[in-house]
Amino acid sequence: MPDRPVLVAQLSDTHLRPRGAAGVGGLDPAAALADAVRAIGRLEQAPDAVVMTGDLADGGHDEAYALLRELLAPLSMPVYLLVGNHDAREPLLRAFPDHARLASGAPAGSLQYEATIGPLRLVVLDTLAPGHDYGELCDERLDWLEDRLGRCAGQPVVVAMHHPPFATLIEPMDRIGLRRGGERLAAILRSHPNVERVICGHLHRSIEARFGGTIASTCPATVHQMHLDFDPASRYRWTREPPQFRIHAWTPASGLVTHLASVPPFDGPHGFRS
Ligand SMILES: [Fe+2]
């Protein structure tokens, strides 16, 4: 029997607002996250960890992070959080004082950290540029990444960050993409072939691209999705496409294999001979 895979669920862009406040298009971000948490609870195999790739709150309010904490309570596995352009570092830290790794952020002022998920090393980056929707990685944050990766040679690594470091070809989103640090990030990753994946949020869609000698991907949101439009003159638009999340599964033989999972309701599973 092959080993059971190590499973990392990825939720993204929950955009929580203070309790009772509707989200984009009247959608309820709290109910949407509760549905996603239930979906994780109903998986055939419980994930070993959950990573949430930013835009946890829509406006960085204390009440939204308190609500996040409450909604994540049913999850029994470790949950790793990181910031997106809609987040604020201090209110997030205030709501999760026991998230020791978040509080250990380095370099000072950023929320970067690393964690162990079975045989996997999770390295979390902070791309927040306060006051802006675009992202950045300054030299200090990249120095830290280089140092961390230098210490886990040969170990499978997942790098998590909010802003994807690659062009998605959805122009309104690329305008608020990672504006600084991308080239050096690619060079660092290229010299560490044990980086299995760079997992991102921000796009509210599932996208994959080659980056820095590895595979980089984005994750759909639990709430509204971004409209798929490759017209360079397209406007920033959203849709009610169904919420999805990622499951990253790792075995020694396969490396990291990434799936998309949908948030119920949907029919099935059914056998084929019933
Ligand atoms: Fe977002």
Q: Tell me the pLDDT tens digit for each residue of 50-109.
A: 999 999 999 999 999 999 999 999 999 999 999 999 999 999 999 998 876 776 767 778
Question: What is the reported pLDDT for 156?
Answer: 98
Q: Which amino acid is at 109?
A: G
Question: What is the reported pLDDT for 107?
Answer: 78
Q: What is the Å distance from ligand 1's center to 132 Cα? A: 13
- DSSP, collapsed to helix, strand or coil, labels residue 274 as coil
Question: What is the reported pLDDT for 163?
Answer: 98
Question: What is the reported pLDDT for 194?
Answer: 97
Helix axes 29-41 and 62-72, enclosed angle (nearest 10): 20
Q: What is the Å distance from ligand 1's center to 83 Cα? A: 10
Q: What is the Å distance from ligand 1's center to 182 Cα? A: 19
State residue 151 phi and psi, 5-degree precision.
-95, -5
pLDDT-derived band at 46, boundaries 50, 70, 90: very high
Distance CA 144, CA 146 (A): 5
Question: What is the reported pLDDT for 273?
Answer: 83
Question: What is the reported pLDDT for 207?
Answer: 98
Q: What is the Å distance from ligand 1's center to 15 Cα? A: 7
The single-letter DSSP state of residue 3 is P
Radius of gyration of the chain (CA): 18
Question: What is the reported pLDDT for 274?
Answer: 60
CA angle 111/14/170 to nearest 5° reads 90
Q: Does the pLDDT value for residue 249 go beyond 70?
A: yes
pTM here is 0.97
Q: Tell me the pLDDT tens digit for each residue of 112-158.
A: 999 999 999 999 999 999 999 999 999 999 999 999 999 999 999 99
Q: What is the Å distance from ligand 1's center to 106 Cα? A: 24
Q: What is the Å distance from ligand 1's center to 222 Cα? A: 10
CA angle 29/179/164 to nearest 5° reads 45
Distance CA 266, CA 60 (A): 32
Give me the helices (H) in 104-253, please. Answer: 139-150, 171-174, 182-190
* Residue 7 and residue 249 in contact, taking contact as beta carbons nearer than 8 Å: yes
For β-strands 207-211 and 178-180, DSSP reports them as unpaired
Q: What is the Å distance from ligand 1's center to 204 Cα? A: 6
Q: What is the Å distance from ligand 1's center to 180 Cα? A: 19
Q: What is the Å distance from ligand 1's center to 238 Cα? A: 11
Question: What is the reported pLDDT for 1?
Answer: 67
